[in-house]
Amino acid sequence: MEDLPHVAEPLFQLEDVSKRLISKAGETVILAQLSFTIPRGSFFAISGPSGSGKSTLLNLLTGIDRPSSGRILFEGKTLNTLSENKLAAWRGRHVGIVFQFFQLLPTLTAEENILLALELGGSLPHRRWRQRASECLQQVGMVDYARRLPSQLSGGQQQRVAIARALANDPPVLVADEPTGNLDSRTALEIFTLFEQLNATGKTIIYVTHDRDLAARASDRIELLDGHLVHQHSALKVPVKEHQA
Ligand SMILES: Nc1ncnc2c1ncn2[C@@H]1O[C@H](COP(=O)(O)OP(=O)(O)OP(=O)(O)O)[C@@H](O)[C@H]1O
Ligand SMILES: [Mg+2]
């Protein structure tokens, strides 16, 4: 093999991953035999029109849903055959999720939303929670807003808090489903830039976006159309693994 100075290690590997739904009307293919790799440390953008399967794919990657066929590997280990409990434990340790509509708990302050994530994640002893919440708010530029309720924050500020919450248990992967879809273009760019900064600290970012200009800034990108992978680009070189039957 040629000498590659920046060979990226695969973090996720998808092998012929399909999602099919069966109803009275028959079988619907939501995702059709997707095979691709998400390199460790990449900024991986997923784009495609509404209904193309982007959120379904994220649900498979985060183990919220399982494929109908095919394999998903994380650090070389099969994810989709883990039990529900093991999968939930894996998700808690490895993935932070950011949503389009922020999904902060409205009766909890910014800080309390993060404390709850720390309680659920169980990554740190109780005595370290306050300090960690403060660090996470600091990282997204929201430390002065710790005591505010979500309703007392702008959309961009709520999304920053939601990102801080996703960082709480220090997961190696951040997954975001159109996190700027509900924000004006200037705020959207600020939030995207924040994800780029987090990527620079070593987090792998998996980012769904409709915005072609933003997707073009990602190190890696795929495009879906009707559940099919129609375009793929990677700036990082990943060693091709022999397909195993
Ligand atoms: N639980 C479900 N039952 C039936 N159909 C579903 C279900 N979930 C998703 N679908 C269908 O699967 C397809 C892909 O949906 P998905 O939500 O993944 O698309 P998307 O690319 O995220 O779209 P958007 O950009 O609008 O968020 C759509 O046609 C949708 O109607
Ligand atoms: Mg979606």
Give the domain ranges of the chain. Answer: 42-66+84-228
Query: What is the number of the ligand closest to the CA of 48?
Result: 1
Strands 173-177, 10-23: pairing is unpaired
Residue from 178, 173, 35 nearest 102 by CA: 178
Q: How many CA atoms lie within 13 A of 233 on its CB side?
A: 13
Q: How far is it, in rounded angstroms, from Cα 180 to Cα 191? A: 7
Cβ density class 62-85: b for 16+ within 10 Å, e for less: bbbbbbbebbbbbeeeebbebeee
Residue 74 alpha carbon to ligand 1 centre in Å: 24
Q: Which residues line ligand 1 (CB under 6 A)?
A: 21, 30, 48, 50-56
Structure tokens that stand for 39 in this block: 């390199």
Residue 196 alpha carbon to ligand 1 centre in Å: 27
Q: How far is it, in rounded angstroms, from Cα 30 to Cα 100? A: 21
**Which residues, in sequence order, are bridge partners of residue 206?**
44, 175
Query: What is the number of the ligand closest to the CA of 51?
Result: 1
| Domain 42-66+84-228 belongs in CATH node 3.40.50.300 | yes
Q: How far is CA 25 from CA 31, 167, 225, 229, in A?
A: 18, 42, 22, 25
Query: What is the number of the ligand closest to the CA of 56?
Result: 1
Residue 215 alpha carbon to ligand 1 centre in Å: 21
**Residue with the nearest Cα to atom 12 of ligand 1?**
30
Q: What is the DSSP letter of 157?
A: H
Residue 221 alpha carbon to ligand 1 centre in Å: 20
Cβ density class 217-228: b for 16+ within 10 Å, e for less: bbbbbbbbeebe
- Can you spell out the DSSP letters for 178-219? STTTTS-HHHHHHHHHHHHHHHHTT-EEEEE-S-HHHHHTSS
Q: How far is it, in rounded angstroms, from Cα 124 to Cα 132? A: 9
Position 6 scores a pLDDT of 59
**Which residues, in sequence order, are bridge partners of residue 29?**
20
Residue 3 alpha carbon to ligand 2 centre in Å: 39
Q: Which atom of ligand 1 is nearest to the CA of 53?
A: 18
Residue 51 alpha carbon to ligand 1 centre in Å: 5
Which of 19, 24, 52 has most ligand 1 atoms within 8 Å of CB, for mutation? 52
Phi first, then psi: give them for residue 42, nearest 5 degrees: -80, 160
Per-residue model confidence as pLDDT tens for the chain (245 residues): 455 545 679 999 999 999 999 989 899 999 999 999 999 999 999 999 999 999 999 999 999 999 999 999 999 999 988 999 999 999 999 999 999 989 999 999 999 999 999 999 988 999 999 999 999 999 999 999 999 999 999 999 999 999 999 999 999 999 999 999 888 999 999 999 999 999 999 999 999 998 888 999 999 999 999 999 999 888 765 555 554 44
Which of 21, 28, 30 has most ligand 1 atoms within 8 Å of CB, for mutation? 30
Position 240 scores a pLDDT of 54
Q: Which atom of ligand 1 is nearest to the CA of 23?
A: 4
